[in-house]
Amino acid sequence: MKNCTEELEDIAVDGVEEGFASEEFCPPEVELSRREFLAASGLLAAGIAAGLPRMAEAEAKGAAATTTPVMAAIGITINGQKHSLQVDTRTSLLDLLRENLDLTGSKKGCDHGQCGACTVLMNGRRINSCLTLAVAASGAEITTIEGLGTPEKLSTVQKAFLEHDAFQCGYCTPGQICSATAMLKEAQRGDLSLVSWESGKDSHPELTDAEIKERMAGNICRCGAYPNIVAAMRELAAKGSAA
């Protein structure tokens, strides 16, 4: 078997001096006796063992820091009712509604703010409650699907969804209705969308199908009831109704 120097000399090419294969390219060979190897292994093992308790202690402290709740007092109005609550600062508004207050109309779909099933209204504006900390909503007025209407007295948006069969499994429907309610009010205020800018209509644009689709794009219906949702919204827009 060739050593390092011989191998480098074999692959030398034109313009490369024969002195290329020097000690700086060939690290010295290290030979350990069995006794030296065992001694070095013992030292290494002892060093690792000495560090393990410290690592375990650091991990335990880190775990305690993430699992020990920090509680905070909040005051929040939900569907017209005031609540004074002690909540874990990590609690989302969605979990507060569902787990603490038993308002289960708002659904947990993706829990990443991508599907819109958790949409509620905060001070009249639609938000993803799964991405909103409960402490951040302190002092706000929250409206959920339960606060928009009742089985005996549906809101106009709820009626339109029912009349146009704008749902199938119903899981996304509470978020769709909350979002639609806020969207109609946004349109009445003259708020613009990307479609508004692209069409050049920058003053109270008409709620065309393209406008409705763009403004409702944050709410996903996995059943594909979009045509009926758009039809319901188009009828409400023509009537100028958002309540």
Q: What pLDDT is attached to residue 20?
A: 46
- The CA distance from 233 to 230, in Å, is 5
Question: For the residues 9-18, what does the mean pLDDT come to?
Answer: 50
At 34, is the pLDDT very low, low, confident or very high (cuts 50, 70, 90)? confident
Q: What pLDDT is attached to residue 14?
A: 47
- The CA distance from 172 to 167, in Å, is 8
For the CA atoms of 137, 140, 145, 148, what is the dihedral angle to 10 degrees?
Answer: -170
Q: Which of 39-53, 153-167, 227-241 has the lowest mean pLDDT?
A: 39-53
In Å, what is the CA distance from 94 to each residue of 52, 62, 117, 154?
41, 27, 10, 23
Nearest by Cα to 184 from 164, 150, 154, 211: 211
Q: What pLDDT is attached to residue 5?
A: 54
Q: Note the pLDDT tens digit of each residue in 135-152.
A: 999 999 999 999 999 999
Question: Is residue 118 helix, strand or coil?
Answer: coil
What strands lie across the sheet with 81-88, from one edge to the other? 81-88, 71-78, 141-143, 119-122, 125-128
Q: Note the pLDDT tens digit of each residue in 73-112.
A: 999 999 999 999 999 999 999 999 999 999 999 999 999 9
Q: Note the pLDDT tens digit of each residue in 39-83.
A: 777 777 777 777 777 777 777 777 666 678 999 999 999 999 999
Nearest by Cα to 133 from 40, 70, 182: 70
What integer best gives the mean pLDDT of the chain? 87
Percentage of the chain lying above the pLDDT 70 cut: 83
Q: Note the pLDDT tens digit of each residue in 178-193.
A: 999 999 999 999 999 9
Q: What structural domains does the chain harbor?
A: 4-66 (no CATH), 71-147 (3.10.20.30), 150-239 (1.10.150.120)
At 29, is the pLDDT very low, low, confident or very high (cuts 50, 70, 90)? low
Q: How far is CA 69 from the centre of its chain?
A: 21
DSSP of 45-89, one letter per residue?
HHHHHHHHHHHHHHHHHHHHHHHS--EEEEEEEETTEEEEEEEET
Q: What pLDDT is attached to residue 3?
A: 57
Q: What pLDDT is attached to residue 86?
A: 97
